[in-house]
A and B are shown apart, each in its own frame.
Chain A
Amino acid sequence: MGKPRLAVWKFASCDGCQLSLLDCEDELLAVAGAVEIAYFPEASSDMQPGPYDVSLVEGSITTAHDAERIREIRRQSGAVITIGACATAGGIQALRNFADVEEFTRAVYATPSFISTLDTSTPIADHIRVDFELRGCPINKHQLLETINAFINRRRPNIPAHSVCVECKRRGTVCVTVARGAACLGPVTHAGCGALCPSYDRGCFGCYGPKELANTESLAAWARDKLGVADKDIQRLHHNFNAWSEPFRSEGDRHG
């Protein structure tokens, strides 16, 4: 049996998550040793045809053409793993879902009629069946390696679904909400970053999206009533990289 064939695809995104793979400098050789990188235009012009065992998909669906393209990728792939907030939640560009896209195109482009785009930016899982979603804006490279590794070795990825708070407590970071009164999305956000922002005295921005049982209503009420955070700031916090993910979406809608 040959090595598993890996493909890396890009949709509407900034390339940051794919770069995480290239950023795995030390481990990249091991990855190349364990899989055949068959399709990865960001890294190599040698693009081989499918089928592929594992497809990593970055980016969201924002055009009719992309909505078709992702179906073809699904057909050609054994496992589809979406990586990053764009692919798993629609990304920052899903802010268009709350506004009038035509108005944006008129404001930004000299010839808006050249722009052919959907009204929405949506996650890949809205369009096809996805085998695993790796969260983050951007993703954590160690988690990416772990995910690839788990798929190759046919085991469940060790990607914990608990809150960011657990990462704070394990590393001994003092809670910025309790000790400084900072608004922090950590208690409702999926872990993965290692609680980076609180370790720099900042509240969590929710880059990894809502965790399971995310009680945003209780946290937002506390931020507003006890910490004195303005409604529009609470909305901004939720309507960020994962704005289109429930319950961030409706929590943001409730404040504003």
Chain B
Amino acid sequence: MGPKRDASAFILPVARLDELFAALRSRGYACVGPTVRDAAIVYGDIEHSADLPRGWTDDHAPGSYRIKRRSDNAYFGYVVGPHAWKKYLFTPERRLWQLQRAGAKWERTDPPVEVQKYAFIGVRACEIAALQIQDRIFTGGQFVEPNYAATRREVFVVSVNCTQSASTCFCVSMDTGPEVRGGSDLTLTEILQPEHCFVVRADSERGDEVLASLDLDCARSEHSHAAAVGVDHARRQSRRLETAGLKDLLRRNSESPQWQDIASRCLSCANCTLACPTCFCSSVEDVSDLSGDHAERWQRWDSCFNPDFSYMHGGEVRRTTAARYRQWMTHKLSTWFDQFGSSGCVGCGRCISWCPVGIDITEEARKMREAEGVQS
């Protein structure tokens, strides 16, 4: 192999992208990934490369998201959309068990642990960080969520290095991107020069095996260089979250008047938490049929912004929007460290784009810091 070749990076020509999906399918994976639907790039079933958002990009601003045409045919020329991968692992609703009256006794049936073998196509670095956070939550402690664990174990991650950032991205501040560092099986970087193709690396044994089966040419240094330039381009982010001392800043400011100011704008609608790839809250609901002979327990996505979420004997613990926003932001950026050993935020910007009134967690953190500076 000549000196100008990168022994670990290979070239997947655009015309052979479908071979990758075929290789994954033949190994029993259902491919899911980005696709254009309802004026957005969402995650759905991917049969062919034609299902991908080829030639589309996304514009983000607080409370605003628009897809638009690119001037080229990039497949992964967008950032992140409204969906997060959690919908496949921690599903929005799920029946936990059911009871049927049988004479004087009750018979309980638990639905079997369903394992769907997914290949996640186009996972971003910040999203891998989010998956790893949810792994710790659902599988890292004393109580393991069996459905999450079983599905997650099988996930084949085809990640994509970002070569551009949106105005809402701040993965650089959170040290989660834009480059994929681990947690991936195959990692692609899409480049448009010297020709439109993907620079591919295998990052696991599974990845090695699939990559070998594709029998690709090694990348040349121009390819690797173009990939590195792309990632560097994505590193230039205008949005920042100052993380130094952030944990303690929020801890100190639980009584800040700033929470009231946020509450005058916040709708307590829960969009931020449900769009967030790390938020993991759910509630369980028991239902019975009219005869009272059949009962079921359902688990559903819930949120600290919902009224019943903090309901205990005697009422809700968090009755005001100020208390709910404080809970959310303080958990994300401060108490998450105590609970799970990391920040709860990976800097994907979803909560900023998908807040219907554009509330921006980075801006609120900045104001909190600023207000404290003024006081002291």
Residues of A whose CB lies within 8 Å of any CB of B are 27, 30-31, 33-34, 145-146, 148-149, 152-153, 155, 158, 160-163, 165-166, 169-175, 177-181, 184, 186-188, 201, 212-215, 217-219, 222, 226
Q: How far is the CB of B275 from chain A (nearest CB, A)?
A: 7
Residue ID in chain A nearest B295 by CB atoms: A153
Mark interface residues in B275-295 (1 if CB within 8 Å of A CB, else 0). Answer: 100000000011111111000
**Contacting pair A149 B271 (CB below 8 A):** no
How many residues of B sit at the interface, in one of the four size bands? Answer: 35 or more
Interface residues of B in 43-68 (CB under 8 A from A): 63-67
Q: Which residues of B contact A149 (CB under 8 A)?
A: 288-290
Closest chain B CB from A177 CB (angstroms): 5
Residues 243-267 of chain B: 1 if any A CB is under 8 Å from the residue's CB, otherwise 0? 0000000000000000000011111
* Cβ-defined partner of B301 (8 Å) among A30, A166, A181: A166
Residues of B within 8 A of A226 (CB): 63-64, 358
Which residues in B have their C-beta under 8 angstroms from that of A27? 290
Query: Do A166 and B265 touch across chains, with their CB atoms under 8 A apart?
Result: no
6 further A-B pairs in the complex, CB-CB below 8 A; given A30-B290, A188-B267, A201-B39: A34-B291, A166-B301, A186-B269, A201-B38, A212-B307, A213-B320
Q: Report B98 CB to chain A, min CB distance, Å.
A: 15
User: Shortest beta-carbon distance, A162 to chain B, in Å?
Assistant: 4
Instruction: Indicate whether A181 sits within 8 Å of B64 (C-beta atoms), given known contacts A162-B307, A170-B92.
Output: yes
Inter-subunit contact A169/B66 (CB<8 Å): no
Chain A residues, CB < 8 A from B307: 161-162, 212-213
- The residue of chain A having its C-beta at the shortest distance from the C-beta of B44 within the complex is A172
**Whole-angstrom distance between the alpha carbons of A123 and B54 in the complex?**
53
Contact of A158 among B65, B93, B287, B355 (CB under 8 A): B287
Minimum C-beta distance from A103 to chain B (A): 37
- Asked if B285 and A170 make an inter-chain contact with CB atoms under 8 angstroms apart, the answer reads no
The answer to whether B306 and A162 have CB atoms under 8 Å apart is: yes
Known: A34-B291, A215-B321. A187 touches B42 (CB 8 A): no
Is B356 touching A174 in the complex (CB atoms < 8 A)?
no
A184 touches B291 (CB 8 A): no
Q: Are B66 and A172 in contact (CB under 8 A)?
A: no
Cβ B308 vs Cβ A30 within 8 A: no
Is the pair B65, A179 in contact by a Cβ cutoff of 8 Å? yes
A216's nearest neighbour on chain B, judged by CB, is B267
CB neighbours (8 Å) of A218 from chain B are 264-267, 357
In the bound assembly, the distance between CA atoms of A222 and B61 in angstroms comes to 14
21 contacts between A and B (CB under 8 A): A33-B290, A34-B291, A146-B287, A153-B292, A158-B287, A162-B270, A162-B305, A163-B306, A165-B356, A166-B269, A166-B270, A169-B270, A170-B93, A170-B301, A177-B63, A178-B63, A179-B82, A184-B356, A188-B267, A212-B307, A218-B265
B37: interface (CB < 8 Å): yes
A174 touches B38 (CB 8 A): yes
> Does B291 contact A33, Cβ atoms closer than 8 Å?
yes
Q: Which residue of A lies closest to B298 (CB)?
A: A158
Does B240 count as interface, using CB distance less than 8 angstroms? no
Within 8 A of A (CB), among B166-187: none
Q: Is the CB of B289 within 8 A of A215?
A: no
**Residue of B42, B271, B354 with most partner-chain A CB within 10 A:** B271
B300 near A: Cβ within 8 Å?
A: yes
Q: In the bound complex, what is the Cα–Cα distance between A187 and B359 (angstroms)?
A: 13
Give the complex CA separation of A121 and B358 in angstroms: 37
Cα–Cα distance between A201 and B40 once the two chains are bound (Å):
12
Cα-based distance from A177 to B82 in the complex (angstroms): 12
Contacting residues, chain B, for A153 (C-beta < 8 A): 288, 292
Bound Cα distance A219, B271 (Å):
14
Question: Does B353 sit at the interface, judged by CB under 8 A?
Answer: yes
Complex-state Cα separation, A188 to B266, whole angstroms: 11
Asked if B239 is an interface residue, CB under 8 A from chain A, the answer is no
